[in-house]
Amino acid sequence: MTREALTSAELLERVLYSLLKPVVKLARVNGISSKALAAWVQLAYFHDLRRSGLTMAEACERLDISMRTASRLSKQLKQDFFRPEREHQLPRQIEFMLWLQPLSEARLEQALPGVERDEIRAALETLIAEKRIVEQRGRTTTYSAASSTDRLVRPGWMARIGGLNSLLSTVLNAIYGRFFGNGAPTFARNLSLRILRDDVSRLNQLYETTIWPELAALDERAEGRDDALPLSFALLWAPYEALENNLNDSADGET
């Protein structure tokens, strides 16, 4: 069956199934039950609906759950487990919005209907403290990005989770563009190759000496242009079948 023969509903089902595969595999190898995984899916769905600006009642209708269940999910979202969302993902989202244009705190609240006012304020304070945005005082205080290119590697596991969220957001946007985006400019290539272990450092060097300088030059060229296209860019590599190979090595060690 060719892609052209698929209905839009069938294509969506296939893409969703492909996206679920790595989640299910990671859950399976770590002994997470399907029931527990389904509960996380429900929580993530509720989180996304609320972030999109839906009320509790509207989220209940979309998820076909009771208000009592929705209240329980809302309480879960306020736990420390979601600190990476509040302390890393939200500031990065706001930073990107300010990269496009300066905004006041009130405008940010309008653009982020599912985010509490104190969360936005805390994110702004974080960005100011890290010198990632500039506060411009006047009749109306606005904020703008200090730099349009950000490749700062921040320490700590919460920053890594925040980085993971950003990476997967880029992957999702690329998937949407390639399958559903009606010509949106996206690019994705998957390669399999062999290299010597001693040459792995050359991949890092390739990024630092060639890829990053070129990206920075392109970004500088687009600064201030109305026809500039905002892009998120991801680059990653890993040993082929690293997860499965690690499992096999562990199993061999137990025999």
pLDDT, tens digit only, all 255 positions of the chain: 455 678 999 999 999 999 999 999 999 999 999 999 999 999 999 999 998 989 999 999 999 999 999 999 999 988 867 776 667 778 888 988 888 789 999 999 999 987 889 989 999 998 999 888 999 998 899 999 886 555 555 667 777 887 888 899 999 999 999 999 877 789 999 999 999 999 999 999 999 999 999 999 998 898 878 888 888 899 999 988 878 777 766 655 555
Residue spans of alpha helices (H) in the chain: 8-29, 34-51, 56-63, 67-77, 83-84, 90-100, 105-111, 117-129, 157-179, 200-206, 212-222, 242-254
Q: Could you tell me if 167 and 232 are in contact, meaning their C-beta atoms sit under 8 angstroms apart?
A: no
Residue-wise pLDDT for 111-124, tens only, equals 998 788 998 999 99
pLDDT of residue 253: 58
pLDDT of residue 1: 47
Residue 145 φ then ψ, to 5°: -70, 140
Closest to 104 in 3D by CA, of 60, 68, 76, 135: 135
Cα atoms in the 13 Å half-sphere on the side-chain side of 134: 10
Residues 6+ apart with CB under 8 A from 150: 92, 95, 132
Identify the H or E element spanning 2. Answer: none
pLDDT of residue 163: 82
pLDDT of residue 101: 84
